[in-house]
Amino acid sequence: MPSMTAKKKCCKDKPRCKKCPVVLKRLADAGCAERCDLRHYLVDKKIPKKLLKEARSR
C-alpha cells in the first residue's frame, strides 16, 4: 500500500482533489484507506472508479 499525505486545507475545487483531507477520510471510512495518524494514510492501489468519484464529489 502506498502512503499518502493529506493537504492541510481543502482548496475548494470541484471535484475535490485526490489529496484533500475529506477525500482521504471518506476512503478510510469506505475501507480503501487506513489512517496512520492525523494526516498520513495508507491507500489501496486499486480503488474502484465509482468509489473514488463518490469520495471526490461535493
Percent of the chain past pLDDT 90, that is, above it, reads 93
What average pLDDT does this structure show over 21-50? 96
H/E segment holding residue 41: strand 40-43
Contact 56, 14 (CB under 8 A): no
User: What's this model's pTM, rounded to 2 decimal places?
Assistant: 0.92
Contact 18, 51 (CB under 8 A): no
According to the model, what pLDDT value does residue 54 have? 97
**Segments making up each domain of the chain, as ranges:** 3-56
